[in-house]
Amino acid sequence: MGWSRDRSDGGRRSYHHGNLRETLVRAALDLIAEKGPAGFTFADAARWAGVSAAAPYRHFRDRDDLLADVARRGFTLFTAQLEQAWDEGRPEPFRAFESVGRAYLAFARDEPAYYSAMFEAGVPLDADPALLEAADAAFAVLRRAAEALCARMPPDKRPPAMMMALHVWALSHGIASLFGRGDAGRRPLPMEPEELLEAGVLVYLRGLGI
């Protein structure tokens, strides 16, 4: 990829040669960080990259197609971080489960532009098979973790692992979106987001008898 910052044009990067697709993805991430996922146009991305308004159509059908690719990449990174945190339930499933929650919050804090593209851009998952597959892979980590915890209970007292995964996902996502993100959307909280999530998950799991 070849681009450089053009100081004479308000910090816009100018595309010179190389991989235009990658440059447009970077443009989208920067524009999301600056304006939100709904705050820029396809032409804005082209302008950021320093190419004509028609050039992005060589690689993307439209703005939603660009956002879908950004979201897919985000989910791939997200899955890798969740997988690393889960580490096949080592050293012990409950502690590994807590690590997954911390990884969820860390991603929202460290990658707010990707996080917005993944969860706030409004791109239909089923419109892009690759995006749907990437999103499902991320959730699959949480579901495997829930299954591992449920397996520790007597068979007649096990909650549905899918239900548990969805509940913990909703709790994690809510805390990440409100209090754990790394952009201007973060709201003040009189404790660390990790502490809030840990307490919420602990109360939830105790309610299930885990």
pLDDT digits (tens, 9 = 90+) for 79-99: 999 999 999 999 999 999 999
DSSP string, 76-106: HHHHHHHHHHHGGG-S-HHHHHHHHHHHHHH
Helix and strand element counts for the chain (H, E): 8, 2
* Residues 115 and 107 sit within 8 Å (Cβ to Cβ): yes
Q: Give yes or no for residue 72 having a pLDDT over 90.
A: yes
Sequence ranges of the chain with CATH classification 1.10.10:
2-58
Write the CATH number of the domain with boundaries 2-58. Answer: 1.10.10
| Average pLDDT value for the chain | 89
Place of tokens 């892979």: 137
Sequence ranges of the chain with CATH classification 1.10.357.10:
63-208
For residue 43, give Cα distances in angstroms to 24, 46, 47, 49. Answer: 11, 5, 6, 10
State the Cα–Cα distance between residues 138 and 181, nearest whole angstrom.
18
Q: What is the reported pLDDT for 18?
A: 64
- Give Dmax over CA atoms of the chain in angstroms: 69
* Residues 105 and 177 sit within 8 Å (Cβ to Cβ): no
Q: What is the reported pLDDT for 181?
A: 83
Q: Kindly report the pTM of this predicted structure.
A: 0.87
Q: What percent of the chain has pLDDT over 90?
A: 76
Domain spanning 63-208, CATH class: mainly alpha
State the Cα–Cα distance between residues 193 and 97, nearest whole angstrom.
16
